[in-house]
Structure 1
Amino acid sequence: MKLFKVLVLFFINYFIGVLSTEETSVKCGACMLVVREFEKAIKAIDPKKMTTVGSFRVDPKGNQKGLVEIPFARSEAHLQDVLEDVCEKTKKYTQTIHPVTGKKTYIHEEIIVEYKRIPGMSNKLHSACIDFVDDNDSEIIKFMQKEEVEDPLRDLCHEKLGICTSVDVSPFPDPTPSDDYDGNTKESDNLENDEL
C-alpha cells in the first residue's frame, strides 16, 4: 500500500512538472524580447558610425586625453536609448507554439507568419518586460556592449540570468525552404527519370 502511495505521488509530481513546462514563463519571454529588440536595434545602425567616449577634461596644456572612438551601435548612450522604450515593442509580440519544442513562447509577429498565434498576452508581457528591465538594466547594458556573442538569447536569458530553460531559447526554424528545394520534385522522381 505504501508503494502505491509513493507511485501515485511520483506520477502527480511528474505530471505537474510536465504541465508547468508547456509554456515559456512571461519573465523569460520578456528577456527574449529585450535581447531580440536590442540585437535588431544594433544591426540597424551603420557599423561605420562611431562615437567618442572617455574623459572630456582638458589638461593645463589644453589637451584632451583619454578619448576613444568606439562603434556607436554598442555604445552605452545608444543602448540606454534602446532600453528606454524597448518594452513598448511588446505590442508587436504574440504568443505562439514553438514548432520544434511544442512549448508556448513569445515571438515578434513578423516572424510567425507561418505559425499559429495565441492572442491576449501582450499586457502580461509588457508588465514583465518593465519589471525585467528595472531589475536587470545594468546587466543588460553590459551584456549588449559585447561585440561578438554567438547566441545572445542563450547566453543572457539562460546561462547568465537563469530565467529561461535551454528549451525556451531554442531558435525557430527558418520558415523559408532552402534554395535547392523547389517544393515540387522529390529525389525519387529524379532517380526514376535518370537514363542508364
Structure 2
Amino acid sequence: MKEVVLLLTACVLFLLLPSSCQAARQGQDIRCGACRALVDEMEWAVSQVDPKKMIQTGSYRIKPDGTQSIKEVPLARSEGNLLELMESVCDRMQDYGERMDAVTNRKSYMRIRSRNGEAMDLSEATLDTRITGSLKFACETIVEQNEDELIEFFSHETENVKDKLCSKRTDLCDHALKIPHDEL
C-alpha cells in the first residue's frame, strides 16, 4: 500500500513539475521585464528635466567654523526628484505589451505606445490588461523593495543600468539570459 501511495505521489509531482517550472519562469520574465521597463521609464523621465536646473541640498545649519554644508546638484538626479518620479513610474506599465522572443522562447516586454505620438509596429506585441496589471504590480514591488538601489543608480549617470540593477544587484533577470540593450 505504501508503494502505491509513493508511486501516485511521484506521478502527481512529475505532472505538476513542468507547469510549476513554467509558472516560475513566467514570473521571472515579468519581474525582469518590469525592472527593465522601470529603468527605461526612469531614464526617460530624468532626461526630460532641464539639465541646467539645480537644487541646493545639505544642511542650512551653520557649523562652528561659520560654514554651511550646502551643495548644488542637478535637479533631475536629486533624491527628491527621483522619489517623485518613482511614485508614478509604475503607472506607465500600461504602455507596455508582451512579445515572445523566437530565439530564447521567453517573454519580453515592449513599449506599445510611443511617447511622442508616432505610430509603432505592434505586430509582435500581445496587448492584454492582465499583462499590464502584472507588470505594474511587479514594478511597484521592485520600487518598494529596492528604493535605495534605484536612488543610488539614478542619482549618478551610470551606463548599463538595466544590467547592473536588474541582473547583478537584484537578480530579477537571469545572468545567463542575453537580453538586447534596446532603447524604448
Tell me which interval the TM-score lies in, with the shorter structure as reference length: 0.7 to 0.9
Q: 1:75 to 1:97 in 2, by over 3 A?
A: same
Aligned to 1:154: 163
Answer yes or no: is the 8 Å Cα contact 2:29–2:106 preserved in 1: no
The structure with more radius of gyration: 1
Q: Output one character per residue of 1:85-139: Cα deviation in whole Å (capped at 9) or x when no partner.
A: 1111111111123476453201211476255111221111111111111111111
Q: CA deviation at 1:50?
A: 0.9
Q: Secondary structure at the match of 1:29?
A: helix
SS of 1:95's equivalent? strand
**Secondary structure in 2 matching 1:134:** helix
Tell me if 1:113 matches 2:121: yes
**Between structures 1 and 2, the one with greater helix share:** 2
Which ranges of structure 1 fall in alignment gaps of 5 or more residues? Answer: 1-11, 175-196
Structure 2 regions of 5+ residues with no counterpart? Answer: 1-13, 115-119
Tell me, in whole angstroms, the C-alpha distance in 1 between the residues paired with 2:80 and 2:33.
25
1:145 paired residue among 128, 141, 155: 155
Q: Check whether the contact 2:110–2:125 (CA below 8 A) recurs between aligned residues.
A: no
Identity within the alignment, %: 29
> What root-mean-square deviation, in Å, do the aligned CA atoms of Structure 1 and Structure 2 show?
3.0
How many aligned positions are there?
Answer: 159
2:110 partner amino acid: I
User: Normalising by the residue count of structure 2, what TM-score does the alignment of the two structures yield?
Assistant: 0.73
SS of structure 2 residue aligned to 1:66: strand
Letter in 2 for 1:80: L
What's the CA shift for 1:64? 5.6
Residue 137 of structure 2, aligned match among 127, 135, 141: 127
Which deviates more from structure 2 when the two are superposed, residues 105-114 or residues 47-56?
105-114
